[in-house]
Structure 1
Amino acid sequence: MTNAKWRTLATDLLKKRTQPNTESSFNRTTSKKIRLNENIRLIPFDKLRKESLKWYQDPDSMRNIVGIKITYTKEQINQMYEWQNEHGLLYYIEYISNDRSQIIGDVWLAEDDYAIVIDRSFRNRHIGRTVTKYFIYKAKRLGRNFITVSEIFNWNKASQKMFTRLGFYPFQENKDSWSYRKRLKKTQKSKYS
């Protein structure tokens, strides 16, 4: 496949998760770091950081993110980040240990999607769960009825397990994946039900 076709494929995959004309209702005035616990902090997206190349240029990680083993160029990653930042809340995930901090992933909350990426060497430490719990809280504060993960691939058992344990449920089957959702507002029962 030529470079142009790969670039088109990657761009299409980046944009398929949300509606391209979605207007964001997120408050952009807050740009402070958010401490979730003694080891995890969220840093608002400011620029492409070299650490993100590690997980977006790893074909195995990309299979869990977009469904095929590809890699993104620096330009494609930057394009993705700029687009996500315009259409939701985009943060880097910082891990702090022994007075040393490093960027280990990113997280994005849009009106109709949620996505999180954790560096392979930091998985299975409940970092994704901690970050996702915060964004469940954030989505509630924003008045959302649901928080939705548009695509978890069938082979990504770790993500399925994490989201299910946090109360997400599969609600729409896609090719090779499911969309997961968590209800944030309780529905009113009528006195006749």
Structure 2
Amino acid sequence: MASIKWRTLATDLLGKRTQPSIESSFQRNGSKGIRISEKIRLLPFDKFRQESLKWYQDPESMYHIVGIKSTYTKKQIQQMYEWQNEHGLLYYIEYNNESHYQIIGDVWLAEDDYAIVIDQAFRNRHIGRSVTKYFIYKSKKLGREFITVSEIFNWNKASQKMFASLKFYPFKENEDSWSYRRRLKRLGTRKENSK
């Protein structure tokens, strides 16, 4: 299956919606949240939340997400979220900032793509790393052979470094980006060591 470039879906969503629906193999846990750490938890997507305007309407963030300094409208974000939610697992990332949780990003896992966005004000706190480690585990649990990031732009050195530290490797060169992948060992299987 070809990689889904979710970051550009907001602009060509109507064309994508005419394609046959892909049945998701994910088991959904209803509205149950997932605790990643004392400070980080995942909230299953339920509706558009205003907080997402902060990162999808920031040209600097969008430069790292879609490769150009642009912004998404509220309608484009809603359409993107609806499409992602139909084709994978979509969560808001919540962070406990001293006394309360607030939404500071989103994360999406599909069969052939993984994407994570963190608000600029909350970067460099290892939030993306912690969330990605959980989704590596989740992908193993689902019996996946790989977890794939369809596009990391050449200038997004922080994302390249983070994914490389989690044993992702570049495997496909695009015009101004690379696709990254991590091979997974399925849970419940043992690798025989021969000495």
Q: What TM-score does the superposition give when structure 1 sets the normalisation length?
A: 0.87
Aligned pairs (5 A) from 1:94-133: 94-133=94-133
Q: Secondary structure at the match of 1:46?
A: coil
Residue equivalent to 1:135: 135
- Alpha-carbon shift at residue 153 of structure 1 (Å): 0.1
Partner of 1:169: 169
Unaligned runs of at least 5 residues, structure 2: 1-7
Deviation digits for residues 136-160 of structure 1 (CA, Å, limit 9, x no counterpart): 0000001100000000000000000
Q: Give the Cα separation in 2 of the matches to 1:121 and 1:103.
A: 12
- Given residue 26 of structure 2, which amino acid in structure 1 is its aligned partner? F
Q: Which amino acid is the alignment partner of residue 184 of structure 2?
A: L
What SS does the corresponding residue of 1:143 show, helix, strand or coil? coil
- Mapped contact 1:36–1:42 kept (Cα < 8 A): yes
Q: Deviations over 1:55-91 (max 9, x none)?
A: 0001111111111111000000000000000000000
Query: Which residue in the other structure is 1:85 paired with?
Result: 85
Hey, what's the Cα distance between the residues in 2 that align with 1:110 and 1:15?
A: 19
Question: Who is 2:146 aligned against?
Answer: 146
Alignment of 1:1-40 (within 5 A): 10-12=10-12, 21-40=21-40
Residues 27-72 of structure 1: per-residue CA shift (max 9 Å, x gap) = 1243201011110000000100000000000111111111111100
- TM-score, L = length of structure 2: 0.86
The one-letter code sitting in structure 1 at the alignment partner of 2:38 is E
Partner of 1:3 in structure 2? none
**Secondary structure of residue in 2 paired with 1:54:** helix
Superposed CA RMSD: 2.6
* Structure-2 change in CA distance of 1:172 and 1:99 (3 Å): same
Deviation at 1:188, TM superposition (A): 10
Where structure 1 has 5 or more consecutive residues not aligned to the other structure, the ranges are: 1-7
Identity rate of aligned residues, in percent? 78
- 1:14 touches 1:80 (CA, 8 Å); kept in 2? no
Q: Tell me the distance in 2 between the aligned counterparts of 1:20 and 1:134.
A: 30
Tell me the SS of whatever aligns to 1:31: coil
Change (3 A) 1:44 1:9: closer
Distance 2:94 2:79 in 1: 21
CA positional deviation for 1:11: 2.0
1:178 equivalent in alignment to 2:163: no
Stretch of structure 1 that moved more, 168-177 or 97-106:
97-106
